[in-house]
A = this chain, B = another copy of it.
Amino acid sequence: MRAGCFCSLLFYVWLTPLLLLLHRIKASGLKLRFCTNETQATRENFVKKLQGMGFDISVAEVTAPAPAACRILKERSLRPHLLVHNDLVPEFAEIDKANPNCVVIGDAAENFTYANLNEAFRVLIGMEKPVLISLGRGRYYKETDGLKLDVGAYMKALEYACDVQAEVVGKPAEKFFESALAEMGVPAQQAIMIGDDIVNDVGGAQRCGMRAVQVRTGKYRPCDENHPHVKPDAYVNNLAEAVDVILQQL
C-alpha cells in the first residue's frame, strides 16, 4: 500500500504514523492533499481502505493517476489496451476499449506476466505511431515482503522494444502536481511536498516550483543523498519531524 498526502504540504509516506499527524495538520488550518501513484486499486477503494484505518479522508482529497488518464483518453478518443492491476480495471469502466489504439500501463504486479507483456508489446508495435500511457514512472517500491519493481521499469521495457517515449500520468509529471495544486487552490510557492521517493516526489514537486522534503523512511536509501540531479530542500527522519518543523514555522 502506498499513499501520499498534500497540505500546503504534500506527503508520501507509510501509513502507520499518519493518523494523528493528519489531525494535527488539518487542525492547524493548512490545506492537505493526498497525492498518490497508487494504481493497484480504484481511488474509491484506496480511500475506503484508509477510512477503515481511521483516516479522515475523502475521495475528493486524493489525486491519483487513473482518473487523470481517463480524462486524457476521452479528450483524445483513445481506446486503451490495459496492462494494469485487476483491482484498477473498474476505473476504466466507462472507457471504450474495443480495437485499441493505445496501451495504458500501471503497476500491474502479478499481471506483469511474460504473456501479458508480450501482448501489450504486440498491440503497441502494431500501431503506426505507438501511444503508450504510463500511470507513473516509479522504479521500485517496498512491500512487507521486500522491494518490487514498479511500473517505470516495465514502461522502460516497452519504450525500448517499441522505440517510443511513454506519456507519464502521475508523479513526477508536472501536470499531475499542477492539477493537485489547482484542486487545492494553492500556488506552488506556498506548497511543500513531503515524500520518500527522491525522483518521483522530491524531484517532480521541485520542477513545479514547490519546495520538497525527503523523509528518511520507506523507500528512502542513504545513497539518495548523493543523487546527481535532485537535492531536497530538507531531510527529516520521519513524518512527525516534518510536521513539527512545518507547524513551528506557521
Interface positions of A (Cβ within 8 A of B): 109-110, 112-114, 117-118, 121-122, 125, 139-140, 146-150, 152-154, 156-163
Q: Which chain B positions have C-beta within 8 A of A110?
A: 114
Most-contacted residue by chain B among A109, A125, A152, A161 (CB, 10 A): A161
Report 13 cross-chain contacts, Cβ distance below 8 Å, ordered by A residue. Answer: A110-B114, A112-B114, A112-B117, A113-B114, A118-B147, A118-B149, A121-B149, A125-B140, A125-B147, A139-B161, A150-B161, A152-B161, A156-B159
Main secondary structure of the interface of A (DSSP, over half): helix
- Does B152 lie within 8 Å of A154, measured CB to CB? no
| A123 vs B214: C-alpha distance when bound (angstroms) | 25
| A109 vs B152: C-alpha distance when bound (angstroms) | 21
Q: Which chain B positions have C-beta within 8 A of A160?
A: 139, 152-153, 156
Q: Shortest CB–CB separation between residue A166 and chain B, in angstroms? A: 12
| A160 vs B153: C-alpha distance when bound (angstroms) | 6
Q: Which chain B positions have C-beta within 8 A of A158?
A: 153
| A97 vs B148: C-alpha distance when bound (angstroms) | 23
Q: Which chain B positions have C-beta within 8 A of A113?
A: 113-114
Q: Shortest CB–CB separation between residue A235 and chain B, in angstroms? A: 20
Most-contacted residue by chain B among A113, A139, A160 (CB, 10 A): A160
| A140 vs B117: C-alpha distance when bound (angstroms) | 12
Contact of A149 among B139, B148, B153, B157 (CB under 8 A): B157
Output the nearest chain B residue to A125 by Cβ-Cβ distance: B147
Q: Which chain B positions have C-beta within 8 A of A150?
A: 161
Given contacts A118-B148, A122-B146, A153-B161, 20 further A-B contacts (CB under 8 A): A109-B114, A112-B114, A113-B113, A113-B114, A117-B153, A118-B146, A121-B140, A121-B149, A122-B147, A125-B140, A125-B147, A139-B160, A139-B161, A139-B162, A150-B161, A153-B158, A153-B160, A156-B156, A156-B160, A157-B157
